[in-house]
Structure 1
Amino acid sequence: MCRQSATVCLIKSPALESVAGLSLVERLRMLPDPRRRRGVRHPFVAVLLVAASAVIAGARSYAAIGQWSANAPQHALARLGARVTGTLGVRVAPSPATIRRVIALVCPGGLADLTGASPGGADSVAVDGKAARGSRHGQTPAAHLLAAMTGDGRTITQLRVPDKTNEITCFAALLKPYDLSGVTVTADALHTQRDHVCFLVEDKHAHFLLVVKANQPGLHRRL
């Protein structure tokens, strides 16, 4: 199952060692194209790179991503691997509809595992969750994501918290694939749980720094 949703993963998450040192393009090429082969016009990786470039440039919606794509100069589209058409070799940007469709189909778990940073060498890792902005649609609640970041701001990974549950049930699954030996893991009071501490100390050989509030009344009184 996908680490980010209730769908079946299209990719078996690679060993972290196999992607270390690879460029973003090389990592994205490891993702399978989820589209049907018939009618495909734009390279899969190029669509993802165009979307990522637009977001880096400040786009915060599909409409803004599509506008950036439509206005991108030829040299930028060439660097991103956009489709070539005609005898003059003109680069054609993917349409907003194509970008939206590809992003909706791509396996989020595989993408997160391929593009995340390694916690190796980090002094600390912070775990925190929040609702994804703009993900609410009609009666469907916003997606709630739990993420892990290094102390210097590099995202390691994230997963989607399933509906009808909370971050507590996802804490161990988020960190399980990573070597956290000697790393200090920080989190808010929600994760001040006995099982979390045992997991960090006994399974991951990590240190921990957790906030104590009234959700742990006995421990709170003793402190």
Structure 2
Amino acid sequence: MSCSPAELSDLTSLSTVLDRLSDPRRVRGRRYRLGSLLALCLLAVLGGATTLAGIARFAIDSTPEVRKRIGLDRLPRATTLGRLLSRVDGDALDDAVGAWLARHSRDPVETGPPELVGLAVGGKAVRGSRDGGKTAIHLLAAVLHENQTVISQRQIAVKSNEIPAFAPLLERLDLRGHVITADAMHTQTDHAEQISAQGAIAAKENAVFLGPPGTGKTHLATGLAVRACLMAHSHSFPCKAKKPLGDHFRGAFLVHRTWSGMVPPAGFEPATPA
């Protein structure tokens, strides 16, 4: 495995971030840094490893420079990796990796005013996780629209669904300046209150929902309008744009809130496309 100098520097920061996690191992007998082992596992999986033996083999095949950068001064056995991964807090690991990815997904040199950031919330079954009669592992993730980077992730409990996992998925994220897109099942009052409290729908701007039919645009737009009514803000009821907005904006729904006074008695006004 070979990396550029910039990529090697990123590996150093990744292992340092993972070192801050709570270590489930006993202090006595520790022979490896926590961050080094977890960084090795992440790199190995990205490199195609699917088993503990594959991760151990990846460590052997890695260049000395890569091992040095992640702080791995000796080669771990597969059993060592297995014991660690069975005890580590999966949610804490997801949060740490998500925060690291979010940091490295931003443009370090921004020009002009900050733009709205699209964040998609959706769930998928993990490929290859179904084993005989065992149910496949289902994950709910928050993914940046621009570069498809997962910045937060939660495992769905067995015999449950995505709704209870929505709050813990987003609770640690700063949602100011973000537009959240999700399936229709997430048009819940509690979810609207949460993302509102975290700043996602506090901006006095138009909210534009993009996507093919059946992705929940109408539900989300209606939910925002109803929420504005309940908060006694003047607004416009969502409706389909009447004039072309370009190929990327076809089927978009707009919600415009003027915030200039109380909601009129009727509660709704026809929306005027921007």
Q: Shared fold (TM-score greater than 0.5)?
A: yes
User: In the TM superposition, what whole-angstrom CA distance separates every residue of 1:16-73 from its partner, at most 9, and x where no partner exists?
Assistant: xxxxxx9212211211221123333332222112212212323233332222123233
Query: Counterparts of 2:135 and 2:90 in 1: how far apart (Å)?
Result: 18
Query: Counterparts of 2:143 and 2:216 in 1: how far apart (Å)?
Result: 21
Query: Counterparts of 2:142 and 2:179 in 1: how far apart (Å)?
Result: 12
Report the Cα offset of residue 157 of structure 1: 0.9
Which segments of structure 1 move beyond 6 Å, counting only runs of 4 or more?
A: none
**SS of corresponding position for 1:116:** helix
Q: Is the 8 A contact 1:127 1:186 kept in 2?
A: yes
Equivalent residue, structure 2, for 1:109: 91
Equivalent residue, structure 2, for 1:164: 159
Q: Is the 8 A contact 1:132 1:144 kept in 2?
A: yes
Q: Are 1:124 and 2:124 an aligned pair?
A: no
Q: Is the 8 A contact 1:69 1:95 kept in 2?
A: no
User: In the TM superposition, what whole-angstrom CA distance separates every residue of 1:173-196 from its partner, at most 9, and x where no partner exists?
Assistant: 311222213311011233244543
Following superposition of structure 1 onto structure 2, how do residues 1-223 of structure 1 map, counting pairs within 5 Å? Answer: 23-83=13-73, 92-117=74-99, 118=102, 123-137=117-131, 139-151=133-145, 152-200=147-195, 202-207=196-201, 209=209, 211-212=215-216
Query: Counterparts of 2:194 and 2:92 in 1: how far apart (Å)?
Result: 24
Report the Cα offset of residue 106 of structure 1: 1.3
User: Structure 1 residues 30-39 or 129-138, which shifts more?
Assistant: 129-138
User: In the TM superposition, what whole-angstrom CA distance separates every residue of 1:78-134 from its partner, at most 9, and x where no partner exists?
Assistant: 232223xxxxxxxx3111221222122211122122221349966110101112234
Q: Which structure carries more relative contact order (alpha carbon 8 Å, separation 6+)?
A: 1
Q: Which amino acid aligns with 1:162?
A: A
Equivalent residue, structure 2, for 1:14: none
Q: Which amino acid aligns with 1:55?
A: V
Query: Counterparts of 1:82 and 1:198 in 2: how far apart (Å)?
Result: 45
Cα root mean square deviation, aligned: 3.3
Normalised to the residue count of structure 2, the TM-score between the two structures is 0.58
Q: 1:205 to 1:97 in 2, by over 3 A?
A: same
Work out which of the two has the higher radius of gyration on C-alpha atoms and give 1 or 2.
2
**SS of corresponding position for 2:28:** coil
User: Structure 1 residues 120-129 or 45-54, which shifts more?
Assistant: 120-129
Q: Which amino acid aligns with 2:56?
A: G
Q: 1:204 to 1:79 in 2, by over 3 A?
A: closer
Unaligned 5+ segments in structure 2 are 1-11, 107-113, 202-206, 224-238, 241-274
Query: Counterparts of 1:40 and 1:205 in 2: how far apart (Å)?
Result: 43
User: What percentage of aligned pairs have identical amino acids?
Assistant: 37
Report the Cα offset of residue 136 of structure 1: 4.0
Number of residue-to-residue matches in the alignment? 190
Q: Which amino acid aligns with 2:143?
A: M
Query: Counterparts of 2:30 and 2:132 in 1: how far apart (Å)?
Result: 30
Q: 1:205 to 1:31 in 2, by over 3 A?
A: closer
Unaligned 5+ segments in structure 1 are 1-21, 84-91
